[in-house]
Structure 1
Amino acid sequence: MKTMNITKRPANERGRADHGWLQARFTFSFSEYFDPDHMGFKSLRVMNNDTVQPGGGFPTHPHESMEIFTYVIEGQLEHKDSMGNGAIIKAGDLQYMSAGDGVLHSEFNPSKQDKTHLYQIWIKPKAPGGEPRYAEKPLADTLEPNSINLLFSGDGKNGSTEIRQDADIYFGNVDAGQSIEVPASESTPNAWVQVISGELELLGQTLSTGDGLALDNAEESFEITAAANSKFLVFRLAD
């Protein structure tokens, strides 16, 4: 069995940008922030933690050959795209868009007074192209406490939404003092844990809001304990 390698990415060491209407923290190199030591992890390429001021947003722009996930922590995000989708993503909900052969979309904070706080995450697909796809996950209304939920996978197993990469994406919602187990996986033997809010303890590490943890060669199951009420994402990734 290969030795597991653990690498912490502290929140306060992430890249940053401030454009007035947008304040961003970058786990991996993105836009004007470049760090050759943080170019992504396996197929996970972008992990941006954005705060969009009232009325601010991203005008219509293109994407192609990228799996894009947006989780709204606070506020709302208005989405429109060239597939004909239009929606307001509310706090606690998660959106998925597979850019495929190419898609145009815009994202704005529709509020005139409240900021929008979100994560945007990009995963590289196994192969370029394909017909663009879109899905929404209304997590705020469906998640049970002290649970870990499989939302996306490469094969659509267990009611998850199929994506164009060998990856399993879980959302955790755990109260202080409670623990959950991330299932073992031989096909996706690496993991990235991203803390949205709260504090977690796993594998001898303590993670706080905004921290990330990379696990190489972690095909066995592992336990996560919440030291405070916590929400987090777990990405199981192929080599």
Structure 2
Amino acid sequence: MEAVVHKANTRGRVDFGWLKSNHTFSFGSYMNPDRIRFGTLRVLNDDIVAPGRGFDPHPHQDMEIISIPIKGALEHKDSIGTSGVIESGEVQVMSAGTGIVHSEYNHSETDPVNFLQIWVLPDKRGAKPRYDQRKFLPEDRKNKFQVVVAPKESQEGLWINQNAWFSLGNLDEGSESEYTSKNREGGVYAFLISGKVNINGSELSARDGVGFPRAEILKVKALENSEILLMDVPEIQ
């Protein structure tokens, strides 16, 4: 099947002053019937939050939520007693399950925070709410892909309630890497955080995304020094 390309400048955009966000898929006031989801990948928001500002306590249910700070630090509190700060280089997962209330604020009073907020539909409803975070070393993904999120049984990265695998790669200009999909009946969605790459003939610039339905192997060539996130997700059953 053909790749589904979403260029950065075609994303939905909102600007509330304290929050500037670009939506790859339909979210909030941005509704595009051609961009509802990619397999079980439902939300991919690129958020910038002003110093000292953030999202007041709000509820979620039956969703796997992944946050990846790109620059800055994000402060988290929730109704199951978790509180903490995640910084660039760390990844956070939250299983909303039967219901959870949480807040997210920029931890800095002087600098904005930029983070990816990603929602994945779970493989079951009514799971027990949970939270986890972990730091991942950038040298472990130099010119290769480092698993940061995976199913529980894989014992790799942080686990979520879905057969989804998230991998980060820091690629030097001119390097070539391969990724083999774990969801042949779903696909792999690639989001380029920075740089420029060519993936199976599709050229991406910073903040572009491309989905490869029923992908087997992705061949990634870095045209510049690049940072990339691969989201390997099943189709909805």
Task: State the TM-score bracket (shorter-chain normalisation).
Answer: over 0.9
Name stretches of at least 5 consecutive residues in structure 1 with no aligned partner.
Answer: none
1:139 is displaced (CA, Å) by 2.2
The 5-angstrom pairing of residues 22-171 of structure 1 reads 22-140=19-137, 143-157=140-154, 159-171=156-168
**What SS is found at the alignment partner of 2:48?**
strand
1:232 is displaced (CA, Å) by 1.3
Distance 1:110 1:175, change over 3 A: same
**What SS is found at the alignment partner of 1:135?**
strand
Distance 1:44 1:235, change over 3 A: same
Give the TM-score of the pair, scaled to structure 2: 0.94
| Match for residue 196 of structure 2 among 195, 199, 204 | 199
**Amino acid in the other structure paired with 1:212:** G
On the 8 A contact 2:141/2:169 being kept in 1, the answer is no
Q: Could you say which residue in structure 1 is the equivalent of 2:226?
A: 230
Residue range with higher mean Cα deviation, 28-37 or 169-178: 169-178
Are residues 1:173 and 2:170 paired? yes
Aligned partners of 1:215, 1:135: CA distance in 2, in Å? 29
1:29 is displaced (CA, Å) by 0.6
On the 8 A contact 1:5/1:217 being kept in 2, the answer is no
Residue range with higher mean Cα deviation, 164-173 or 139-148: 139-148
**What SS is found at the alignment partner of 1:42?**
coil
Aligned partners of 1:36, 1:181: CA distance in 2, in Å? 32
Give the total of aligned pairs: 235
**What SS is found at the alignment partner of 1:89?**
strand
Name stretches of at least 5 consecutive residues in structure 2 with no aligned partner.
Answer: none
Are residues 1:16 and 2:13 paired? yes
Give the TM-score of the pair, scaled to structure 1: 0.93
| Identical aligned residues as a percent | 37
Aligned partners of 1:113, 1:140: CA distance in 2, in Å? 26
**What SS is found at the alignment partner of 1:5?**
coil
1:150 is displaced (CA, Å) by 1.6
